[in-house]
Amino acid sequence: MLKGTASIEELESRLPPETLKVYREAFSVYDINGDGVIETHELVQVMKNIGASMTENDLHNLLQEAGVGDNVDFHAFLQIMFSTSGDATDDIEQSIRASFRVLDADGDGLIGIEELKLMLQKLGEEISDAQLEQVISMADKDKDGKINIDDFIRIMK
């Protein structure tokens, strides 16, 4: 837990439910061994994916000042998300955009079947490729087989 910051309940109440769900899912994707914490190097990747202009050194300094070691739990993760996005998380569209960047694991601006499958597997959901294709086709307005930011915003609003 970062020192001098809001409780997890307060942080969660400040986020739109959809964004909180996406953050939980993204955290689970990066929690590779399922122990409820992500390592600093994994957090660096999350921060890059959401477009945070924070270097690895900046992140290490933030975690050191906050008394957080090499492992970050979900509460600390939320606090870091708020500290890097400021009040922008109060704006629903900006929150949705940040959520998209978290889920876009390879940073290509698209969520494909493999990224969606990986996220769902990390959450313990078993779903066939045919079902995944159906989910993507329902969201994929331009029918390119991937969910882009416009598709994601449309389904999350």
CATH number of the domain at 52, please: 1.10.238.10
What is the domain extent for residue 95?
A: 8-156
CA gap 75, 111 in Å, rounded: 26
Is the model's pTM score more than 0.85? no
Residue 121 lies in a domain: yes
Residue 1 lies in a domain: no
Angle, alpha carbons 147-15-103 (nearest 5°): 25
Which pLDDT belongs to residue 91?
A: 58
Q: How confident is the model at residue 108 (pLDDT cuts 50, 70, 90)?
A: very high
Q: How many domains does the chain have?
A: 1
Residue 3 lies in a domain: no
Percent of the chain whose pLDDT exceeds 70? 82
